[in-house]
Amino acid sequence: MLLPNSYATFALDTVDMKFNTKTVHGGQENTDPAYGSVMPPIYQTSTYSQSTPGGHKGFEYSRSGNPTRTALEKSLASIENAKFGLAFGSGLAAIDAVMKLFKPGDEIISTNDLYGGSYRLFTTIFENFEIKFHFIGMQDASKIEEYINENTKLIWLETPTNPMMNIIDIEAASKIAKKHNLLLAVDNTFATPYLQQPMDLGADIVMHSATKYLGGHSDVVLGALVVNDKNLAEKLYFIQKASGAVCGPQDSFLVLRGIKTLHLRMQRHCENGEAVAKFLKTHPKVDKVYWPGFEDHPNHDIAKKQMKDFGGMISFTTKENTLESATKIVENLKVFTLAESLGGVESLAGHPASMTHASIPQEERAKIGVVDSLIRLSIGVEDEGDLIEDLKQALG
Ligand SMILES: *Cc1c(COP(=O)(O)O)cnc(C)c1O
């Protein structure tokens, strides 16, 4: 079982580029051989002509490979400092592919404060296939070891976590994974490789909902995995092809285009995020503000160690700790849009308990701090003054 030819030509010459160059050029051909187009063409085709049976130019059918998708996959690998990239129809399709590496009886240790859809996939689909999940707090990474036994195969973590902005020490988790011969997978959706590079900290798999910051414009749903190990890449490539949850060429193009400005957008997301977090912290009606940039954030030191900056995701609660007060605030926002998702150029507000995390039972939600008044903000790249004014009027 071999990777297709297109993967073997991974542009290793881009390895030495700085991150801000990799977003634009990483893994890419400088010009296309046909007409010199600067962006890769959108190869909107399902199949490829063969001169003789098996005589093709590296692509035979677009489920197993498509040149536009390959261009994206190489870009993804490059920006995450990995050797192999794989793109899927959604972030959950990418996670689904990782889960298919395992078999009944295997056990997985996962963060308890994670994306609601990941929790739903694990508990409603893969528990049926007798994969056992342990959902635990990992803010103290040494806790992970208590749950390891001879069936444990994978540690799955998200950092910063969604929506509580907890920070998990990737390097510490990776040391535990290596000691016990487990795989470590990191959902890097919130941080993006601009802020944190889990492969460099010892992760085996980095996963993305590219729907969020990588795409960056709220116009596409797409998922990604990157890995360094060739054997693991081959297994995942086989699952991608055999299960077929691939993304189309148009969507691949949109994410590739989004990645080219990732560093510029992230810088602004971080600047605006800091301004909004500081504003909320001093507002009389606001109770708690969850943002890893605050020195009193319980894992601020780890955030400082493993992240370049603190990102544009913020959650907060109000002193009037009711569902009604939270509902009123999000309904009154004008610049912020009340919507699921995150990571786009526009600022979004969400109510996790009734939106993104509704699939987690209320008592489970409460345990991790997802109370009914919690509001999650994805800070966009608009003018920071306009965002603060909007929050001021909505809170007032
Ligand atoms: C959105 C999201 C996912 C799921 O990705 P989709 O592209 O919506 O399938 C997984 N993890 C995190 C952290 C997310 O925010």
Beta-bridge partner residues of 111: 136
Q: Which ligand 1 atom is the nearest neighbour of the CA of 117?
A: 4
Active-site residue (options: 7, 22, 113, 115) = 115
pLDDT of residue 1: 41
Q: Is the CB of 156 under 6 A from ligand 1?
A: no
45 CA to centre of ligand 1 in angstroms:
27
pLDDT of residue 11: 46
Express each pLDDT in 35-79 by its tens digit: 889 889 999 999 999 999 999 999 999 999 999 999 999 999 999
63 catalytic, yes or no? yes
Amino acid 327 reads: T
pLDDT of residue 12: 47
373 CA to centre of ligand 1 in angstroms:
22
pLDDT of residue 357: 80
Beta strands in the chain (DSSP E): 84-88, 107-111, 132-136, 152-158, 183-187, 205-209, 223-227, 286-290, 313-318, 337-338, 348-350, 375-378
pLDDT of residue 3: 59
Active-site residue (options: 113, 187, 251, 309) = 187
Low-confidence ranges of the chain (pLDDT < 70): 1-15
Q: Is the CB of 189 under 6 A from ligand 1?
A: yes
218 CA to centre of ligand 1 in angstroms:
13
Q: Which domains does the chain have, with CATH numbers?
A: 5-259 (3.40.640.10), 262-395 (3.90.1150.10)
Express each pLDDT in 86-100 by its tens digit: 999 999 999 999 999
| Cut 0.85: pTM above it | yes
Q: Which ligand 1 atom is the nearest neighbour of the CA of 114?
A: 13
